[in-house]
Amino acid sequence: MLDLKGYGPELLAGAMVTMELAFLSLAVSLILGLVGASAKLSDNRPLRAIATTYTTCIRGVPDIVMMMLFYYGGQLAVNSLSDVLWEAYEIDFFFQFDPFISGVVTIGLIFGAYMTETFRGAFLAVDTGQIEAARAYGFSRWHTFRRIIFPQMLRHALPGIGNNWQVLLKTTALVSIIGLTDMVRVAEEAAKAERMPFHFFIPVAFVYLSLTAVSELFIKWLDIRANVGVVQRS
């Protein structure tokens, strides 16, 4: 039977950290994706340029390099900011830039770029006639977005969001490198201490595997629900 040499509770706690990290990063990336896609589709040229630079740069740099930049650089930035605030306004401002925050910020930023592309495509897939009709009925811009564009866009975005989520889940493993005690970190320490790498890494691999499998089922279910109103021709 599976014997985790007393590391079981720690691994479980690590798994919870992984899940928290994944869900928080997903939330950040969804928000950034919506903002980014709106910027890319707006008529404002500088806004479009900023969004394009954002997605290009993020997608060209490895996630772990970004993570290290934010983790090691983030604290430095916070420190100098708190110095400035103290000298100028005597405001006592400081916070610890821990691995968890850097993880959420970086993974959120990275997948925000991917979500931007997903949402952009999904927004474009909404029939313009729908938008024109809403405007003709006197819907305000915000109302058109909330009632007409957003619900229809979601159907097109769902497969892309699902793919991004699957990749995001696996990316969370990288945060162990900058020192977050997630399940990968616990397994690594346990494996080194007990000299039993297979013993600890294979259960962790299966946790990831079951997480991706469950997500796959959930996304399929969401997809069926989102497409309820669409006639399937086969």
- What would the two tokens of residue 12 be? 């479980």
Please, what is the Cα angle at 233 between 228 and 234, to 5 degrees?
Answer: 120
Candidates 32-40, 81-89, 135-143, 164-172: pick the segment binding other proteins (CB under 8 A): 164-172
Contact 116, 40 (CB under 8 A): yes
Output the smallest distance, CB 34 to other proteins, in A. Answer: 23
Give the residue, chosen from 141, 147, 170, 225, that forms a contact with other proteins under the rule CB under 8 A. Answer: 170
- CB nearer other proteins, residue 127 or residue 216: 216
Return the exposure string of 53-87: e unless at least 16 CB atoms fall within 10 Å of the residue's CB, then b.
ebbeebeeeebeebbbebbeebeeeeeeeeeeeee
The DSSP annotation for 135-189 comes to: HHTT--HHHIIIIIIHHHHHHHHHHHHHHHHHHHHHHGGGGGTTT--SHHHHHHH
Candidates 9-17, 56-64, 97-105, 132-140: pick the segment binding other proteins (CB under 8 A): 56-64
Output the smallest distance, CB 166 to other proteins, in A. Answer: 8
CB neighbours of residue 161 within 10 Å: 23
Binding mask 132-161 for other proteins (x = CB under 8 A): ------------------------------
Residue 173, interface with other proteins (CB under 8 A)?
yes
| Of residues 183-222, those binding other proteins (CB under 8 A) | 184, 187-188, 191-192, 195-198, 201-202, 204-205, 208-209, 212-213
CB neighbours of residue 195 within 10 Å: 7
Give the residue, chosen from 16, 31, 57, 193, that forms a contact with other proteins under the rule CB under 8 A. Answer: 57
- What would the two tokens of residue 171 be? 């990316």
- What would the two tokens of residue 86 be? 């103290």
Candidates 23-31, 72-80, 132-140, 155-163: pick the segment binding other proteins (CB under 8 A): 72-80
Residue 78, interface with other proteins (CB under 8 A)?
no
**CA atoms within 13 Å, Cβ hemisphere of 226:** 16
Output the smallest distance, CB 163 to other proteins, in A. Answer: 11
Please, what is the Cα angle at 40 between 35 and 42, to 5 degrees?
Answer: 90
Size of the site for other proteins (CB under 8 A): 38
- CB nearer other proteins, residue 68 or residue 101: 68
Task: Give me the residues that bind other proteins (CB under 8 A), please.
Answer: 57, 59-66, 68-69, 72-73, 76, 170-174, 176-177, 184, 187-188, 191-192, 195-198, 201-202, 204-205, 208-209, 212-213
